[in-house]
Structure 1
Amino acid sequence: MSRPDLHERIQALRKLRIAQGRVRVRRTITRRDGVRVEMDGRWLTEFCGNDYLGLSQQFQVVSALQEGAGRDGAGAGASHLVSGHHAAHEAVEREIAQWLGYPRGLLFGSGYLANLAVQQALLLEDGDVCVQDRLNHASLLDASLLAGCKLRRYPHADAEGALRQLKHAPEGAAMLATDGVFSMDGDVAPLRALTLVARMQKALLYVDDAHGVGVRGPEGRGSVAEANLGPVEIPLQLVTLGKALGGYGAVVVGDDALIQHLSETARPYIYTTALPPAQAAATLVAVKHARRDEWRREKLTGLIARFRGGAQRHGLETIVSDSPIQPILCGDDASAMAMSSALQSAGYLVTAIRPPTVPEGKARLRVTLSALHMAAEVDALVEALARSRDAVQRVRGAA
């Protein structure tokens, strides 16, 4: 028997990534101060993180983390169903469920684990299907593959496409899954139309609102609340704790029966150590700030409008988005990388996003805004973006 050598395989794949200009490189941050980060001995203004409300370094949040570690230690010590479930975990689940208007919540180590848990625990028989938006986050798509259910995808934000896919799906149980705010484009799913589709086809509608909760809707309750929807129309919803809430982990909210089933059967919940209680204590404080600090959302809204106005004046190619995610389309991978490098030289950290994260020919700079940014910083970034684009175009024109 002749088996392929795995080292040879990975070397060939790396050569291909190099040829395509798609090698991914980690950036090491040595210090962070608000939206300023130190990298390779230089201070840069970051415009590519997800700390939308500026809570990751808020002093009361950090104090809660420190006090929690001093009281409860560095880790939970076990999984939730053994001896790792702490009062701080319970408090976070209860607070987030109450905030979003759902009966109950369940805490997970990450959004990736939570998305896998939901599909693995619910779509478990032959013929079960998950119908998904084509631009859903990778964790939702991977969850279907790992859960073993049928995966069908519909054109982005196309409720009629979702209906067609459900109509032609097998006769098993069905889930309709979508991002609330799409992580690479920053636009919002047509949730009201999708609720009608789900009801007509007897599918459970599941919304991953990682980039919506904290930022959108009344009291920052996210895309679902903004659409005036709730547990009746959307029985399950995911909230990640590492975006607007500035921490780590995720909570799935839903009705008692669904959450109880997840807690008893979902392998990504049962077979992993619980989050450190100190992290949960910090998240609890962050949620309270996200609920009451309306000024953070108001400032963020103003910065988004300011950025979009400046980008339009300079002829930068944007996507329609009123979220903190503001992509600048570059087209090919090389242009995106060149613009990102030019911005770094100018003092800005803005990551280039390339396929397969985004479709072919849609490489971009994923600009993200935070309530910690100042108006002058946003204006300066727009100017730097325009200069970097012009420089890349000159080089391409001369080639």
Structure 2
Amino acid sequence: MTLTLPERLSRELAGLREQGLLISPRVLETANRARTRVDGRDVVNLASNNYLGFADHPEIKARAAEYLHTWGAGAGAVRTIAGTLTIHEDFERQLAEFKHTGSALVLGSGFTTNQGVLGTLLQPGDLVVSDELNHASIIDGLRLTKATKKIYRHSDPDDLDRVLAENPTDGLKMVVTDGVFSMDGDIAPLGRLIEVARKHGAVTYVDDAHGSGVLGEAGRGTVHHFGFETAEDVIQVGTLSKAWGVVGGYAAGHADLRQLLINRARPYLFSTAHPPAVVGALSAALELVQRDPSFMERLWDNTRFFKAELARLGFDTMGSQTPITPVLFGEPEAAFEASRRLLDEGVFAVGLGFPTVPRGQARIRNIVTAEHTRDDLEHALTAYERVGRALGVIGG
């Protein structure tokens, strides 16, 4: 008998429940800030990607309102028909200047950017070698291509060298890596990776979703942090939704990259352009981070303090090097229970298990922001100490 849709839905949901992996997202009842409200509780928010506190910044909201009133609620079409407004191209020039690249193009989201750029550049006969811990959007983007796909061990230039040497091709060669890995918070060793890629004539493709706005001068990103922002054999992609506090994705690199993507990238060709308010907010965010270095200074001061105190308490933060600070619990049940207890203590921090992270490495991923005060972080640390001792994760 043919399986019905209700049967498929019921079986899949039952399986998730049995494994303890069924997700029911918390709903924020106020703006996404360092302090917010969840389930009727006022909480310290450690679950957001709002690194610089821009999501509810008054200057950014004012620019969004200005563009809304001047340009309307929506763009009205896809970019290639009638949806490209002056402000779209102005922002892309601003972004290219910020990134120190020959061109930049904005797409609907960071996820679809990976699909669009990888799908445009990679063809049959090409070779793409991807870090084993790359983001799901990279994995899905590569699945859509007909290039030969290989994996190298996480952040291991020697293994990358081996894979490239064992897979010769006359087509395009591409090495793909996150700049900052979203679950562990570690930084890709871009200097070594690019050196190996160049040895084999390969292009390096960096998804800088969690590095843009966090690393490099004025938040220019991981590629800038390592000094490769003007290199024509390096492609930068990322999101405009994390440190920048809004939504969207971008691709930046060689001067001709933008024009090819305009003609071939399917998420660009078949998606309505960003609303004017989004463009205004993004433009204001780039201006603000360059004008006022205190945002990044506070972000990193808070990061260093929080990591040091978690380590002092005895928590395993898994070698994180960035504001992404995982606390390892091992099994998903422990991570989810810790998350529930932290919420009772006034701290919003979300547990993550398989398939988001590998089995046996369930964790709570914490992200401190520029907006957190020392009182916020001390409150969170006190809660972590109580919960960690109660669950036997730390001594005492």
CA distance in 2, matches of 1:278, 1:175: 35
State the identity as a percent: 36
Check whether the contact 1:118–1:262 (CA below 8 A) recurs between aligned residues: yes
- Pairwise mapping of residues 1-399 of structure 1 onto structure 2 (< 5 A)? 3-32=2-31, 34-125=33-124, 127-169=125-167, 171=169, 172-232=171-231, 234-393=233-392
SS in 1 for 2:144: helix
Farther-moved stretch of structure 1 (145-154 vs 284-293): 145-154
CA distance in 2, matches of 1:366, 1:234: 33
CA distance in 2, matches of 1:91, 1:251: 14
Check whether the contact 1:37–1:44 (CA below 8 A) recurs between aligned residues: yes
TM-score by length of 1: 0.95
SS in 1 for 2:301: helix
Check whether the contact 2:60–2:281 (CA below 8 A) recurs between aligned residues: yes
Residue 233 of structure 1 deviates from its aligned partner by 5.8
- Give unpaired runs (5+ residues) of structure 2: none
Farther-moved stretch of structure 1 (176-185 vs 11-20): 11-20
CA distance in 1, matches of 2:37, 2:147: 44
CA distance in 2, matches of 1:77, 1:29: 30
Check whether the contact 1:162–1:197 (CA below 8 A) recurs between aligned residues: yes
Farther-moved stretch of structure 1 (287-296 vs 359-368): 287-296
SS in 1 for 2:280: helix
Check whether the contact 2:101–2:255 (CA below 8 A) recurs between aligned residues: no
| CA 1:65–1:337: 2 relative to 1, 3 Å | same
SS in 2 for 1:153: strand
Check whether the contact 1:304–1:322 (CA below 8 A) recurs between aligned residues: no
CA distance in 2, matches of 1:15, 1:158: 39
**Which amino acid letter does the alignment assign opposite residue 100 of structure 1?**
K
Deviations 1:272-319 (CA, angstroms, capped at 9, x unpaired): 101112211110000111122211111111111111111111101112
Aligned length: 392
Check whether the contact 2:36–2:42 (CA below 8 A) recurs between aligned residues: yes
Residue 128 of structure 1 deviates from its aligned partner by 2.1
CA distance in 1, matches of 2:321, 2:237: 21
**Which amino acid letter does the alignment assign opposite residue 257 of structure 2?**
L
CA distance in 2, matches of 1:256, 1:215: 25
| CA 1:309–1:235: 2 relative to 1, 3 Å | closer
TM-score by length of 2: 0.95
State the Cα RMSD in Å. Answer: 1.5
| CA 1:351–1:197: 2 relative to 1, 3 Å | same
- Give unpaired runs (5+ residues) of structure 1: 395-399
CA distance in 2, matches of 1:332, 1:14: 20
Check whether the contact 1:131–1:166 (CA below 8 A) recurs between aligned residues: yes
CA distance in 1, matches of 2:326, 2:238: 23
Check whether the contact 2:47–2:348 (CA below 8 A) recurs between aligned residues: yes
Residue 213 of structure 1 deviates from its aligned partner by 1.2
